[in-house]
Amino acid sequence: MRVSPQEAINFLLNGAVVALPTETVYGLAACIHSRSAIEKIYSLKKRPLNNPLIVHLADPADLRDFIVETPPNLKELMDRFFPGPLSIIVSIDTDKIPSIARSGLSTAAFRVPTHPIVRSIIRTTGPLVMPSANLSGKPSATDPEAVECDFGKDFPVVDGGETQEGLESTVLAFKEGRWWIARLGAITPAEFAETLGYVPLNWTTSRGMTSPISPGQLFKHYSPNALLKLVEQPMELEGIVVGFSDRRYPRASSVYYLGSLKNPNGVAANLYRILRKLDQDQVQEAVIDMDMPYTGLWSTIRDRLEKAADS
């Protein structure tokens, strides 16, 4: 059910959950002090309670109300990337955020979205917790139709069209004297070099998957129902192929195009919609052309496809 931003505000202030567009993916929003609405988010998504939510602020300065310890370069990161698709994990005053929203941790992830609709809503409602608006384990929602597919036609969603980035925010955390990528996302590691003086490493690739900084990395993610097979040799691809418009797949029975290898942003924007399209078309099995670069945004695209295929 499409609702206006004003209706969404009324829902939120009355303790309900609504879906909102952001520049990354759609989010399932609840007011930060509405414990029952936050519980509802976990039950609607079937999300494990030990996977904390990101707090969304209208303005960078609002972080001051929560934070108890300022890691080095926090100000520089905020000046450069807020508002934008970056979430930063910091130690917080635990009285300020209900335990359920942060899974009992003494830290929380914060982000200031650029999307004008969600930002103006937060200006009225105050901070919102907002995980991606998809059933846990499924690809994130990048348009209102995807939200309705997961939560039903009657579920309230503010229609902001297709999201710009198509991938979730990058999550950064300060640990052992430096910043780490806790989750790859729409901002590439190299983009932090100028601000930090180094390229932050991906914690899970450096330390292994058993002790991620972000608990979310432990769970099944981004997966359509179709069995996905990742293949590095595109010429050999047979059957239903997910690939690139720059290539020919002579042995494929049909091809779902992610976009062009010359345009990683376009591929990112299409990625979850294509994975969801496989389900709509009741595809049982698809092969993914993984012959793409390892650098820049491609590293996030690879990460999502690897997780989508890992079921």
The region of 2-10, 36-44, 166-174, 280-288 touching ligand TXA under the rule CB under 6 A is 166-174
Residue 168 contacts ligand TXA per CB under 6 A: yes
Binding characters for Mg ion, 96-135, by CB under 5 A (x = yes): ------------------------------------x---
Q: Which is nearer to ligand TXA, 172 or 267 (CB)?
A: 172
Measuring CA to CA, which residue among 130, 107, 133 is closest to residue 215?
A: 107
Closest distance to Mg ion from the beta carbon of 105 (Å): 17
Residue 182 contacts ligand TXA per CB under 6 A: yes
Candidates 17, 18, 109, 147; binder of ligand TXA (CB under 6 A) is 109
Residue 300 contacts ligand TXA per CB under 6 A: no
Q: Which is nearer to ligand TXA, 134 or 288 (CB)?
A: 134
Measuring CA to CA, which residue among 310, 311, 304 is closest to residue 139?
A: 304
Task: Name the residue type at position 35.
Answer: R
From the list Mg ion, ligand TXA, none, partner contacted by residue 213 (C-beta under 5 to 8 A by kind):
ligand TXA
Measuring CA to CA, which residue among 229, 290, 223, 239 is closest to residue 261?
A: 290
Residue 204 contacts Mg ion per CB under 5 A: no
- DSSP for 271-283, please give it: HHHHHHHHHHTT-
Q: Which is nearer to ligand TXA, 30 or 54 (CB)?
A: 54
Measuring CA to CA, which residue among 101, 89, 81, 88 is closest to residue 39?
A: 101
Residue 223 contacts ligand TXA per CB under 6 A: no
Which pair of tokens denotes residue 288?
């993914």
Place of tokens 């097979």: 229
d(CA 65, CA 299): 34
Candidates 164, 169, 188, 204; binder of ligand TXA (CB under 6 A) is 169
Closest distance to ligand TXA from the beta carbon of 34 (Å): 17
Considering only residues 145 through 164, tell me which ones interact with Mg ion, judged by CB under 5 A: none
Closest distance to Mg ion from the beta carbon of 48 (Å): 12
User: Strand 201-202 vs strand 252-259: parallel, antiparallel, or unpaired?
Assistant: unpaired
List, in order, residues 6 or more apart from 197 with CB less than 8 Å away.
none
Contact 133, 22 (CB under 8 A): no
From the list Mg ion, ligand TXA, none, partner contacted by residue 300 (C-beta under 5 to 8 A by kind):
none
Neighbour tally for 81: CB within 10 Å: 22
Measuring CA to CA, which residue among 211, 159, 191 is closest to residue 296?
A: 191
Residue nearest to ligand TXA (CB): 216
d(CA 213, CA 216): 9
From the list ligand TXA, Mg ion, none, partner contacted by residue 142 (C-beta under 5 to 8 A by kind):
none
Candidates 115, 119, 138, 183; binder of ligand TXA (CB under 6 A) is 183
Q: How far is CA 109 from CA 57, 128, 278, 279, 301, in A?
A: 11, 12, 32, 31, 22
Enumerate binding residues for ligand TXA (CB under 6 A). Answer: 22, 24-25, 27, 51-54, 85, 87, 89, 102, 105, 107-109, 111, 130-132, 168-169, 171, 182-183, 213-216
